[in-house]
A and B are shown apart, each in its own frame.
Chain A
Amino acid sequence: MRLVLAFLAVIGFAGGAAADGTGPVVPAATGDPHPEGSDYWRIHHMDMLKHDRDLTMRDGVRDLSPDDLAINASIGECFDCHAVKDEAGDYVTFADDRHFCRVCHDYAAVTVDCFSCHRSTPSNESAVAYRTMAGPEDPSSIEAYLSRVAQEMNE
């Protein structure tokens, strides 16, 4: 399957077939391009998603440390940039065939299993907050909580 995708990536995208309507027209993204290059992502996105998924899910690594070495390991962040809107201006979900992921996957006839559980549109607000480590000034931080509890226990 990976070979097929790689093949398609070469034929379909690099060959410029999209322009003449024989390949998928990838929706334009916002934000900075991936440093690895789009070709790399087209071929390896599943490896990277799987890698991050086990890292976050099983090991609890979210990489929220403020230094710029952090991997922002969340599939939710994909849709910060790769979101498609419909005529009414609402973001389309994976149920819509204009969805970023579906454009290529429908073309290549490769099933996507992510969105039976994951949100397929830009993040809800509370989740955006969790991308940064809570500081002691945040009342919902563990630190602030523990100091409140300690205070209460002393009284």
Chain B
Amino acid sequence: MTNRAEMTRRDILKSGAAASTVTLAPGVTLMAFGGTAEASSRADAGKRWGLLIDASKCDANCTDCVTACKVENGWGADAEHGHVSADQSPEWIRKVTLKDKSTGREVSAPVMCQHCEEPPCVDVCPTGASMKREDGIVLVDKHICIGCRYCMMACPFKARSFVHEPITDQNVQSPRGKGTVESCNLCAPRIDSGRIPACVEACENAGHSAILFGDLKDPESPISKALKEYDSVALRADLELNPGVRYTNL
């Protein structure tokens, strides 16, 4: 059985990663997790997760991605129960229908955190709660979020929400609470356990497959190939934030 105390202590003392053995008790030696176990589950700097949204495949009347996100992350019920107004209820992902002003063509697509390479929300956060993981996922560390909302001022995509009221019965994988800011985290707990984000799964199950998920750093991944092959756009490309979420046929 693992001895967490030893591991925690070792890691706190910064001797953990390099050590290969650890003494549990006199005479009892345990192989510690040095390279392999840790590397296999850590957010991988060699990857950058992203989404490619094909607006031509997105059905204007379908909101399955939004529903799946709500179920997975446990948001949205507060507004449905009428506790908070629509203005104050969280919105991790939203559907928009657009009409080209010059041609009149209508398209629909979901908008969520764009997981920028140069995220303004991370730049402006005074405490470092708004952060980008090694694998490119942008998210809020609610442990040190003070609820100043400066990240919401800085986000060009209105991707972030502030929790306006107390919450109970959260999903374990999605802790969220009053007074902190939240947004799409690309289902980081799912990715960490080798699963695709909930919206991607829902879109596929709905038969649209409008959201393509994958590793942008891997030139052989389907998303990289598709980006190379087809014309795609980044929202607010003028800001040069290099978002990890891209749109095609918009």
Contacts and interface: CB of A to CB of B under 8 A. Distances in A.
Interface in B201-248: 201, 204, 209, 212-214, 221-222, 225-226
A67 interface: yes
A121 B170 CA distance: 9
B70 to A, nearest CB: 13
A57 B42 CA distance: 11
Nearest to B200: A145
Interface in B1-52: 1-8, 11-12, 30-33, 36-38, 40-43
A61 B42 contact: yes
A69 B209 contact: no
A134 B194 contact: yes
A17 interface: no
A55 B221 CA distance: 28
Contacts of B133: 58-60
B106 interface: no
Contacts of A120: 168
A153 interface: yes
Nearest to A34: B4
B2 A70 contact: yes
Interface of A: 32, 34-36, 40, 44, 47-48, 51-53, 55, 57-65, 67-71, 74-76, 93, 95, 116-121, 123-124, 126-127, 129-135, 138, 140-143, 145-146, 148-150, 152-153
5 contacts: A52-B8, A63-B41, A129-B193, A145-B196, A146-B221
B191 A70 contact: no
A69 B171 contact: no
Contact of A142 (B5, B143, B194): B194
A140 B196 contact: yes
B3 A35 contact: yes
Q: For this complex, into which size category does the number of interface residues on chain B fall? A: 35 or more
Contacts of B204: 145, 148
Nearest to B143: A53
Contact of B222 (A57, A131, A150): A150
Nearest to B128: A58
Contacts of B143: 53, 57
Interface stretch (B88-96, B107-115, B118-126, B174-182): B174-182
Given A35-B3, A123-B172, A130-B193, A65 B40 contact: yes
Given A48-B8, A117-B176, A142-B191, A65 B37 contact: yes
A35 B213 contact: no
B83 interface: no
Given A48-B5, A48-B8, A93-B169, A146 B214 contact: yes
Which of A48, A59, A75, A140 has the most CB atoms of chain B within a 10 A radius of its CB?
A140
A126 B200 CA distance: 16
Nearest to B222: A149
A52 B192 CA distance: 15
A117 B57 CA distance: 36
A67 B37 contact: yes
Nearest to A114: B175
A135 B142 CA distance: 30
A36 B4 CA distance: 7
Contacts of A121: 169
Contacts of B4: 34-36, 48, 71
Contacts of B38: 61
Contact of A133 (B32, B194, B213, B222): B194
Given A51-B12, A95-B168, A71 B175 contact: no
